[in-house]
């Protein structure tokens, strides 16, 4: 199977490359030098010329706070570009897989979010990702929009790596405790995307929006404690409310995603974030 990936250095893109090699897949990953996501027309041109059998968009504008002052760029990368990719894929009957986010919801406390729940992003980043979902669906081709949350890996910048770094420098940390979600290993997201791509190639792909996030749900403070327990770092975690750690963009308090639909459609169970943390620790040794 030939796979075209937008994104090269991000957490999921790197995992896609590593796993495709192990699976014997022909994967081409495009960095900014070959695919500028701020130029939607260029992205469409790449799809029009590819010999790939499936296209995955693993690139995005993810600077949640900076997006508040760069709304046009966030929209260009997170909405206009995937929309152009999806339309080009639809014109060639190529399945298009696109990563989205829990930030499309307003984070109201309660049960885990389902795919058909009303959306209500709290900031520019979430609004741009939701606009991207709308563009992809409107293209009319075979597609999967994969909403996930709290991505981490041994590569790039993420919460796990930040905690391990700070844990080596400090004995006590203050961490937000009223935001709840499912930390998700990038390696599991990559594996899920390649499984879905294979299903489309075999004629078993199911179009739509799907949730895929780690289990069990936990707060940032609880996640930090688990990281330190697994790493052996004796760091005390002081739980604080979000109000004690103000940021330019509001974060959802409830980022828990109901992942029943993807289990039923593709047989993909929620990944264990504990195993993902252990893998990150193993990569550091």
User: How far is Cα 53 from Cα 1, in angstroms, rounded to an integer?
Assistant: 7
Q: Rounded to 5 degrees, what are φ and ψ at 228?
A: -70, -35
CA 163 to chain centre: 20
Query: How far is the C-alpha of 199 from the C-alpha of 251, rounded, in Å?
Result: 34
Dist. CA 101–CA 112, nearest whole Å: 14
**What burial class does residue 151 get, using C-beta atoms within 10 Å of its C-beta: 0-12 exposed, 13-18 middle, 19+ buried?**
buried
* Alpha carbon distance 196, 182 (integer Å): 21
| Contact (Cβ atoms closer than 8 angstroms) between residue 60 and residue 151 | no
If we measure between CA atoms, which residue out of 166, 172, 153, 220 comes closest to residue 17? 153
**Which candidate in 103, 125, 212, 266 is catalytic?**
125
- Which region holds residue 157: left if phi is over 0, alpha if psi is between -120 and 50, else beta? beta
Neighbours of 199 (CB within 10 A): 18
**125 catalytic residue (yes or no):** yes
Question: What is the per-residue DSSP string for 17-78?
Answer: HHHHHHHT-EEEEE-TTT--TT-HHHHHHHHHH---SEEEE------TTGGGG-HHHHHIII
CB half-sphere exposure, 169, CA atoms < 13 A = 7
Question: What residues act catalytically?
Answer: 125
């Amino acid at each position: 199977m030939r796979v075209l990936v937008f994104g090269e250095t991000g957490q999921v893109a790197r995992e896609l490359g590593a796993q495709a090699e192990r699976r014997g897949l022909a994967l081409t990953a495009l960095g900014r030098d070959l695919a500028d996501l701020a130029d939607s027309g260029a992205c469409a041109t790449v799809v029009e010329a590819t010999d790939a059998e499936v296209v995955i968009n693993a690139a995005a504008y993810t600077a949640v706070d900076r997006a508040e002052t760069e709304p046009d760029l966030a929209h260009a990368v997170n909405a206009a570009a995937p929309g152009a990719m999806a339309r080009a894929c639809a014109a060639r009957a190529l399945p298009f897989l696109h990563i989205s986010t829990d930030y499309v919801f307003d984070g109201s406390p309660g049960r885990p979010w389902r795919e058909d729940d009303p959306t209500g992003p709290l900031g520019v980043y979430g609004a741009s990702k939701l606009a991207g979902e709308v563009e992809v669906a409107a293209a009319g081709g075979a597609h999967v929009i994969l909403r996930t949350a709290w991505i981490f890996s041994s590569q790039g910048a993420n919460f796990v790596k930040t905690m391990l770094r700070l844990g080596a420098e400090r004995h006590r940390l203050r961490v937000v405790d009223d935001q709840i979600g499912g930390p998700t290993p990038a390696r599991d997201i990559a594996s899920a995307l390649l499984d879905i791509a294979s299903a489309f190639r075999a004629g078993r792909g199911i179009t739509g929006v799907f949730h895929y996030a780690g289990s069990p749900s936990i707060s940032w403070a609880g996640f930090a404690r688990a990281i330190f327990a697994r790493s052996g770092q004796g760091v005390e975690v002081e739980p604080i409310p979000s109000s004690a750690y103000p940021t330019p963009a509001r974060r959802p308090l409830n980022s828990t995603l109901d992942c029943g639909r993807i289990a039923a459609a593709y047989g993909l169970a929620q990944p264990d974030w504990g195993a993902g943390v252990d893998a990150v620790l193993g990569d550091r040794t």
